[in-house]
Structure formats: structure tokens, C-alpha cells
């Protein structure tokens, strides 16, 4: 698995980006990535659930947002997962599928 995380400035609003390249074998469920900091309530979690990527994000005091991207990903083939955040907007893309967006 390769992981890349970065933050860049664009239009006075930071963009946070996480990219993963991974082969999920025949897993049905499992935690892929979790980010958090002791001094911030912000959380981002990526997990495999039912062959899909589950993106769970909590930003500040807002309720946790949950969305799913991709399907049948536990096929032992490498997949590219990209999650980005700009302000309260979070998007997830698996391979070249259409983005799933949560606000």
C-alpha cells in the first residue's frame, strides 16, 4: 500500500488530500486509514465495508459525515482511493469513478 497526504493553499482555503493505492484481497471489512490529533476534534477514517470504501469524517463540532465510494473492491486488484477536503466539503473517488461528495 502506498499513502500520500498533503495540504495546499488554493483560493485562500486549504485543500487536504489523501491518496491511497492498495490491493484489498478478499477482505470484507477493515480499517484502512485514520487521522486525528489530540488537540483537534477533526477526524478522518477510511475503512473497507462490504467491498466499498467507507469515508467517515468529523470536522469540528459538526456531526460525523459518512459516505461510501466504489463497489466490489475486495477483488485482489490494486485500486486508487482519493479523498479531499475543502472547508466542510469532502469528496471521495475510487479509481476513475464519479466523485462521491458530502457537505
- Residue 68, pLDDT above cutoff 90: yes
Average pLDDT, the chain: 78
**Angstrom distance (rounded) from CA 45 to CA 66:** 9
pLDDT of the residue at 14: 52
Q: Are 35 and 44 in contact (CB under 8 A)?
A: yes
**Angstrom distance (rounded) from CA 81 to CA 97:** 10
Q: Are 3 and 17 in contact (CB under 8 A)?
A: no
Residues 13-36, mean pLDDT to the nearest whole number: 72
Q: What percent of the chain has pLDDT over 70?
A: 76
Q: What residue ranges define each of the domains in the chain, with the CATH number in brackets?
A: 2-102 (2.60.120.200)
Picking from 2-11, 26-35, 83-92, 93-102, which range would have the lowest pLDDT averaged per residue?
2-11
Predicted confidence band at 7 (pLDDT cuts at 50, 70, 90)? very low
Considering only residues 54 and 17, tell me which one the structure prediction assigns the higher pLDDT. 54
Amino acid at each position: 500500500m502506498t499513502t500520500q497526504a498533503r495540504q495546499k493553499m488554493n483560493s485562500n482555503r486549504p485543500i487536504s488530500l489523501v491518496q491511497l493505492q492498495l490491493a484489498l484481497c478478499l477482505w470484507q471489512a477493515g480499517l484502512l486509514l485514520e487521522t486525528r490529533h489530540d488537540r483537534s476534534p477533526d477526524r478522518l477514517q477510511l475503512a473497507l465495508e462490504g467491498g466499498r470504501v467507507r469515508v467517515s469524517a468529523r470536522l469540528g463540532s459538526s456531526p460525523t459525515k459518512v459516505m461510501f465510494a466504489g463497489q466490489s473492491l475486495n477483488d485482489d486488484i490494486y485500486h486508487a482511493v482519493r479523498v479531499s477536503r475543502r472547508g466542510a466539503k469532502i469528496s471521495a473517488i475510487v479509481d476513475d469513478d464519479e466523485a462521491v461528495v458530502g457537505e
